[in-house]
Structure 1
Amino acid sequence: MKIVNRAMLAGVSSVALCAAPSAAFAQDADNEETFDDNLIVVTASKRQATLQETPIAVSVTTAAQIEDAQVRDLIDLQTLTPSLRVSQTSLSSVTNFIIRGFGNGGANPGIEPSVGVFIDGVYRSRAAAQISDLPDLERVEVLSGPQSTLFGKNASAGIISIVTQEPQFEFGGVAELSYGNYDAVAAKASITGPLSDTLAFSLGGSYNRRDGYIEDIIINQDINNRNRWGVRGQLLFQPNPDVSFRLIADYDKIDEVCCGATNVVDGPTGAIVRAVGGQFIPNDGLSLQSTVNFAPTNKIENYGVSLQTDWSAGAIDMTGIGAYRRSDSFVNQDSDFTSLNSIGTNINTVDIQTYTGELRAASDFDGPLNFLVGGFLFHETIDQGAEFGNGEGFVLFANAATGGAYSALEPTLRALIPDIPEGSFGGVGQGRMLDYDYENTSFSIFGQLDFEITDGLTLTVGANYTEDKKQVVSNNISTDVFSGIDLVQAGFNAAIAQGATPAQASVLASDLDTNPFLALRGLQFNPPYLNFPNAVEDGRTDDKDLSYTFRLAYNASDNLSLYATYATGFKASSFNLSNDSRPFAADFVPGSPFQSPPPAASPIRDAGLAVPNLRTGSRFAGPEESELYEIGIKGRWDGFSFNLALFDQTLEGFQANVFTGTGFILGNADEQSVRGFELDASISPIPELTFTAGVTYLDSVFDSFPDGNALSPNFTVIPADLSGERPAGVPEWSVVVGGTYTVVIGDSTSLRFHTDYQMESNVALVNGLSNFKRAVENLNASVTLGLSNGLELSLWGRNLTDAAYLNAVSPAVGQPGSLVGFRNQPRTYGGLVRFRF
């Protein structure tokens, strides 16, 4: 066996392709099976390289499969890959990738996802930079489990690698235009060819727009639309067979009205909203109507440049990849999701700049020993700003909720606490302003050694040493006058004014029955912040880790191979860059100095840093460390192939990110594990007909999570011991089946029929509320007429049964006791014209 040039150096690209039963290949005159992307050459007697070379659980979706299934973006990819789940909830950029039940990130920009996303070998660190439509896609590869030794930026749960087509030295291209319901227009085009004998180019672009499928009956506008476009250019310079340079530059933009939320449970505050003229559609989580009073804004710009250099020096092949990327986003959302303008603004801006550099060397020896060694550098800065302000409807809501006490008690409270800042309670624009400056620098050294013990039996040993440093500076301000009042102090001062002793006043101020001001605590949504770094919190993390892999692979025959793997993985600490970034409980004991008994001493209080109504939460979550035991078997014969993996995977310190309605609680699960299997198979009884099937079974559990959080019956986030519980959102069974049948009509025309079906078993949407569940059924189909001149005409449909379900639920913002949800996309269908030349 020889792995040459970028075969080992491309890491996931070469690895993943070998495992795909559907990967296309051609056989040359020298009996070498060469894949269509020229990344891997296997020198053997007609052995199936796809079966023998890759002892890793991998799912590959080719460009042809994506075209047949009419996959519009990465969210649709899960309909073809059962181990992958992709969800979009409150924002266009809140897209979360989950493999084998592990995944995190979402709307908290301080979290690097546990599932790493690479595009042409370049790491994309956040969802906003990962969801672009790519015009010249070649394949998408999903690697399950920790990938420690071939990646500089470790991903503790898995990898998604997106590979685009490199420029060709033969002129060609493709253009397509699709139109569907919801006035959907999708266009893609790419062209490639030579500029000289040594220089080739490619240029591609995409445009994707669609009306929203949720109608807002207040502003008479559609929500949950698509509106994104992008361009991508490449140059490939090959001055000689041993050296090549691939330069890629891209720009894409998203400007969407997203995302609409529905009322799942109309809580006690619903009547208050209606009493002051607000409207919403109660208790209908699957509604296709919404009631916001202004359209949500999602604007994202992504752009970057990368240079990949490959060169061969005898028996050593080298690859270097350097990249710069920037991702800027701006969102504004009516987060109360009602027509009552109680929340006037909820603006969030995130500007991310990322620099990456990687250098790898791989041997190409004929003997039993080969190696790969490399280094990776990563530097990233994030500038996040947020603004959350009251609308003119907030005072109406607050007074209705308190029988008018909210405004009526303002003069009394000002008299009791003279230093209350200027400004009326609940004034328009009052709220909070967040500002985080984040910096992350990391480097890693990694390597892998393959030793062929005997013919067909190979031992692989790999390791990755990583150091990761982060630092954050916060400048968060609460301008909410009422939220900064110590209501215990107000009761204390009132008792003193009535002749009570300090000891008596402390007791009276702490009791709801004797201090009526405490009944207003529920309206203190934006209490003051303690910024960091400070004398107690340094705002820094510094993580070091050594991950490693041991694997034994055996080619039992030309048609069958087996492997056994033990691997570990690592992801560094993540910061909580949200409204609920608050001191750890170990650093601060909440409470008022006027209460009885007074709050216990704590480092922050001892340092004189406590501010009124300071709450606890989390500043960051510690690192994740994963461990994997896996055995697999792969077989391939004429017309039939399969891959089976059985695994036991554990994450210690899994970074759980729980949405509270106003921010996130970020913490570590002591241990979360999953046991199960992945099976994918392909059978072609005749050349014109192919059936595919994929099944994933996950027995997932929080082995130990005593400090977890869950939703209570009244939909507030409360501490909960989740040990022994199944993590929310992780289905036990995921199944994908499909079929493609091609009818050849004469010598120049073909008719291709395709269908695929996705199923996920019923699963709770959130921990603590077992009665809110999701079961997924998704039927898709297409029929394509292909002509000899390169013209193709297609009719397609997705979610043909119009199955409806909720992707997620969360507490309603500013409405205790109510629950909102985000539903799936309804049926879509249309036609497409494609021309290849």
Structure 2
Amino acid sequence: MNKNTFHNFPQANKIFQKTLLVSAILGALSATSLQAQESDTNDADDGGIERIFVTASKRQTGLQQTPIAVTVTSGETIEQAKVLDIGDLQVLVPTLRVTPLQRSTNTNFAIRGFGNGTNNTGIEPSVGIFIDGVYRSRAAAQIGDLPRLQQVEVLSGPQSTLFGKNASAGVISVRTEAPSYDFEGKVEAGIGNYNQRQLRGYISNGITDELAFSLSGGINTRDGYTDSLVGLDKINDRDRWNLRGQMLYEPMEDVKFRLIADYSEIDEICCTTAGFENGPTALAIQALGGIVTDDADPFSFESALNASPHDTVEDGGISLQADIDFDDFAFTSITAFRNNESDYINDVDFTSLDILRETAATKIETFTQEFRLTSNGDNKLDWMIGGFYFDEKVTTGDDLIYGDLVRTYFDVLLSFDPATAGILGTLEGLFPALNEGDIFKANTSIVTDFTQQNDAYSFFVNLDYHLTEDFTATLGVSYTKDEKEITVKQQNNDLLSQVDFDADLTVFGATLVQVGFPAAAIGGLKALQFQPQMLELPNPVEANTSDDDKITWSLRGAYTLNKNVNFFATAATGFKATSWNLSRDTRPFASDATAIAANSSLVLPNQGYGTRFASPEKATVYELGIKTSFRNGAFSATIFNQTIEGFQSSIFVGTGFVLSNAGEQNTVGIEFDSIYRPTDNISLTFAGTLLDPEYVSFVNGTDENGPADLSGTTVPGVHEQSIVAGITYDLEFDNGIYGYLRTDYIYESDVRVVGNIPDTVRREVSTFNASAGLNFENGLMLQVYVRNLNNDEYFLTSFPRPIQTGSIQVYPNQPRTFGASIAYEF
């Protein structure tokens, strides 16, 4: 049946049919979901600059007229710049910072310097990631796995009013092309240095006049670029593949269903770290014949690990979007199910000795649903109402295992001080229940398991009132409720963790003093208790649930001066719910100490106190912006003052994560974006951010010396200046061949990398990328590229090396990579 057949029915019958469709969807689904509308991405206007459409406000609007600070990167730009994953996107978007850590998909996103959510599964990101409107609760998305990208929109500032979950710092919205009714496809093969091999492609066609499909997939492999000093595999390889299928069904002209299913796997040896500073414990490693990486050259890309860091990820999901247009309004629904399973093995002492290793596994099951009603047509008052529902179950945990040389390593360390030399053997000899070598025995394990059940929903309304032809006022209000339930369990077989130093020094039924242990050695013994017993949840004293709700709002004014110049002003708030510390360093709050001490069943040796969770984040932003578009160029700029109260800070301290709330983190700044075309063949882009980030209040912070009041200090890891610039030269030949030459540059000013690492560990970025391509009339395409052309060297981040006081490890950036590809499009 032709999709226009229904035009022959009476109008009332059409409305009845569409109402039935809405009713069927509402009956089959039970909550809410989220989607950015589909659009034709770019149309050229009469000014010579492509007119860009965005869905930042969940309506299809021109970028020029959208009163939101949003940066748009087209699929064509991403192809030309050879952006292979979402981490490369920051080369084109200066307000975005992407930091990969520890595992292939463990990535932190920050916008305007605000961002969190890595390494600790309990900490959800402040920057919301959406792919085709589906919220990705954890950072595990590579845009290189998404052929036929339409565009990527980066929305700065809190977006909690329209986006239902964790958008207190901003949103990254990735949109792909829907299936085509015309037969088309593309096959691409590429090679590069480090034995890079890529193969990807897609095919799309109509099955009937109402039904079309597309199928895409890719394989990406590469050898690692970090050599092992002990003969293991190279580190930082690539080994990943993906499949993605879509069905587009349009039974009527104004009814559309889009079904997307995807699956991907990653099986890689990741990630490269290097020694920045080797403390006094390095002498013990070397005394045992071990190797630590050379701190004189952290960019030597050499690894001293005794076991390869191996991680795997299986990620998949399915989503269904329904769009039904009525005369006066449109109905949108998206339902999505996603499943992510990952595990990794890591040598966490970062030396060639078998001292400490870690295995971990995580499973995340997510369901999201949104319904939305949006007014159609030209109205004095445009409106949108909707709701979002989120259900997620997280099962995660890790196993810390003592290696064959852990006891020998600690014995050597203790021998450096005559007062502590041999004390572990002395302790074992004083108790008949212990044998020699029982303390820090090889293969002793500390197994920790966590679960988190998260249910959240929100309702929102957005009103655009056109006071005059040139001025529009927008009011958005959203109510969010977020509930979490946590369990924490641990089996700690470490014998030394059972020694109670904080009470009466009781161990195995007697005190150390009673059995004749030398008092001068007690301090040295206590220093070795790096993994104390953990108080589990639930328990009679502590709550293992959180229940948050918040009303957020946004108020915008947009003024059109003329067809070339638009102004906007914004005041908005954002919200992110409680995040729980799902790491081995999760500890009761000090406020629960009295109640815990009063309950004998809860008292553990050396009970420490810290944080179980971080309270919600509350964001506020004030913005003034301008957007201009002229015949040969366009320019936009936004001045902003953005604050997050209770920013959820997570710091790795060597054995676990300290999770706390910054009282207030503030950034005042300006971001700008521009394009200029001096000729028909040359495009110049220039964009940047200038920031002044500060902890206005952070009493419970952490620096290199431990707990500290960081109030009034500069926020580490946030560059005060970030600039990106690009030049593209379009080529056209008389024989129909066309192509391009492109170079991009990114600069990020010098900054301290991490707050609990000495200020000597700093980062400054000055990187060039380049690419070139030719397209032939017969559909053949050739491309060459080089990333990090000037072999720029900088640190992604840094951390204290576990159980090696004074030693610092860093993540170096990727060295120069280059390659070539050939593609055929039909």
Q: TM-score, normalised by structure 2?
A: 0.91
> Cα deviation per residue 1:458-495 (whole Å; 9 max; x = unaligned)?
01000110000001011112111122222451598343
Determine if contact 1:26/1:36 at 8 Å carries over to the other structure: no
Selected match of 1:607 from 599, 609, 612: 599
AA of the residue aligned to 2:477: A
Q: Which runs of 5+ in 1 are unaligned?
A: 44-48, 499-508, 589-601, 713-717
> Cα deviation per residue 1:391-428 (whole Å; 9 max; x = unaligned)?
00111101101129989445643576677799811111
Query: Which residue matches 1:625?
Result: 618
Structure 1 residues 497, 824: closer, same or farther in 2, change over 3 A?
Answer: closer
Selected match of 2:497 from 483, 488, 494: 483
Query: Which residue matches 1:468?
Result: 482
CA displacement at 1:211 relative to structure 2: 1.0
Query: Which residue matches 1:782?
Result: 771
Structure 1 residues 535, 722: closer, same or farther in 2, change over 3 A?
Answer: same
Equivalences for residues 211-290 of structure 1 within 5 A:
211-283=223-295, 284-290=297-303
> Cα deviation per residue 1:335-371 (whole Å; 9 max; x = unaligned)?
111101111x301100000000100000114331110
Query: Which residue matches 1:711?
Result: 704
The question of 1:135 aligning with 2:147 is answered yes
CA displacement at 1:229 relative to structure 2: 0.9
AA of the residue aligned to 1:373: I
CA displacement at 1:700 relative to structure 2: 0.4
CA displacement at 1:516 relative to structure 2: 1.5
AA of the residue aligned to 1:703: V
CA distance in 1, matches of 2:773, 2:613: 51
CA distance in 2, matches of 1:729, 1:557: 40
Selected match of 2:524 from 513, 519, 522: 519
Determine if contact 1:423/1:481 at 8 Å carries over to the other structure: no
Determine if contact 1:711/1:766 at 8 Å carries over to the other structure: no
CA displacement at 1:239 relative to structure 2: 0.3
CA displacement at 1:762 relative to structure 2: 0.3
CA displacement at 1:38 relative to structure 2: 11
Selected match of 1:646 from 626, 639, 645: 639
CA distance in 2, matches of 1:274, 1:408: 19
CA distance in 1, matches of 2:437, 2:580: 33
> Cα deviation per residue 1:719-740 (whole Å; 9 max; x = unaligned)?
0111111111100000000011
426-435 vs 298-307, which deviates more? 426-435
AA of the residue aligned to 1:265: E
SS at match of 1:454: coil
Selected match of 2:655 from 662, 665, 671: 662
CA distance in 1, matches of 2:141, 2:120: 14
Query: Which residue matches 1:120?
Result: 132
400-409 vs 621-630, which deviates more? 400-409
Structure 1 residues 368, 422: closer, same or farther in 2, change over 3 A?
Answer: farther
Determine if contact 1:465/1:547 at 8 Å carries over to the other structure: yes
Query: Which residue matches 2:813?
Result: 824
SS at match of 1:642: strand
CA displacement at 1:40 relative to structure 2: 11
Structure 1 residues 27, 95: closer, same or farther in 2, change over 3 A?
Answer: same
SS at match of 1:25: strand
CA distance in 1, matches of 2:515, 2:738: 91
Structure 1 residues 650, 749: closer, same or farther in 2, change over 3 A?
Answer: same
The question of 1:547 aligning with 2:552 is answered yes
Structure 1 residues 812, 131: closer, same or farther in 2, change over 3 A?
Answer: farther
CA displacement at 1:529 relative to structure 2: 1.0
The question of 1:302 aligning with 2:315 is answered yes
Query: Which residue matches 2:743?
Result: 755
Structure 1 residues 334, 41: closer, same or farther in 2, change over 3 A?
Answer: closer
The question of 1:349 aligning with 2:350 is answered no
488-497 vs 721-730, which deviates more? 488-497
Structure 1 residues 460, 97: closer, same or farther in 2, change over 3 A?
Answer: same
The question of 1:25 aligning with 2:43 is answered yes
AA of the residue aligned to 2:294: P
Determine if contact 2:33/2:389 at 8 Å carries over to the other structure: no
The question of 1:203 aligning with 2:215 is answered yes
Determine if contact 1:251/1:303 at 8 Å carries over to the other structure: yes
AA of the residue aligned to 1:654: F
Structure 1 residues 407, 256: closer, same or farther in 2, change over 3 A?
Answer: farther
The question of 1:152 aligning with 2:159 is answered no
Structure 1 residues 184, 218: closer, same or farther in 2, change over 3 A?
Answer: same
Equivalences for residues 329-478 of structure 1 within 5 A:
329-343=342-356, 345-403=357-415, 408-410=422-424, 412-414=426-428, 424-478=438-492
CA distance in 1, matches of 2:55, 2:498: 64
Query: Which residue matches 1:495?
Result: 513
The question of 1:801 aligning with 2:801 is answered no
Equivalences for residues 559-574 of structure 1 within 5 A:
559-574=564-579
Query: Which residue matches 1:596?
Result: none
CA displacement at 1:130 relative to structure 2: 6.0
Query: Which residue matches 2:90?
Result: 78
CA distance in 2, matches of 1:423, 1:831: 57
CA distance in 1, matches of 2:618, 2:787: 38
CA distance in 1, matches of 2:790, 2:621: 38
CA displacement at 1:219 relative to structure 2: 2.6
Selected match of 1:738 from 717, 723, 726: 726
Please list every run of at least 4 consecutive aligned residues from structure 1 whose deviation after the TM superposition is greater than 4 angstroms.
Answer: 9-15, 33-43, 129-132, 404-408, 414-423
CA displacement at 1:42 relative to structure 2: 11
CA displacement at 1:661 relative to structure 2: 1.5
SS at match of 1:556: strand
CA distance in 1, matches of 2:535, 2:481: 29
CA displacement at 1:747 relative to structure 2: 3.9
RMSD: 2.5
SS at match of 2:761: strand
Structure 1 residues 158, 40: closer, same or farther in 2, change over 3 A?
Answer: closer
CA displacement at 1:53 relative to structure 2: 2.3
Query: Which residue matches 1:505?
Result: none
Query: Which residue matches 1:177?
Result: 189
Determine if contact 1:193/1:201 at 8 Å carries over to the other structure: yes
280-289 vs 392-401, which deviates more? 280-289
CA distance in 2, matches of 1:271, 1:42: 62
Query: Which residue matches 1:583?
Result: 588
Determine if contact 2:260/2:318 at 8 Å carries over to the other structure: yes
CA distance in 1, matches of 2:451, 2:33: 33
CA distance in 2, matches of 1:417, 1:611: 21
Selected match of 1:697 from 676, 690, 695: 690
Aligned length: 784
CA displacement at 1:514 relative to structure 2: 3.5
CA distance in 1, matches of 2:566, 2:69: 13
CA distance in 2, matches of 1:386, 1:74: 27
CA displacement at 1:242 relative to structure 2: 1.5
Determine if contact 1:387/1:432 at 8 Å carries over to the other structure: yes
Determine if contact 2:232/2:308 at 8 Å carries over to the other structure: no
Query: Which residue matches 1:591?
Result: none
CA distance in 1, matches of 2:710, 2:344: 33
CA displacement at 1:70 relative to structure 2: 0.8
Structure 1 residues 616, 418: closer, same or farther in 2, change over 3 A?
Answer: farther
Determine if contact 2:91/2:746 at 8 Å carries over to the other structure: yes
Determine if contact 1:420/1:481 at 8 Å carries over to the other structure: no
Aligned-pair identity (%): 41
Query: Which residue matches 2:628?
Result: 635
> Cα deviation per residue 1:587-621 (whole Å; 9 max; x = unaligned)?
22xxxxxxxxxxxxx12111221200222221110
AA of the residue aligned to 2:505: Q
Query: Which residue matches 1:111?
Result: 123
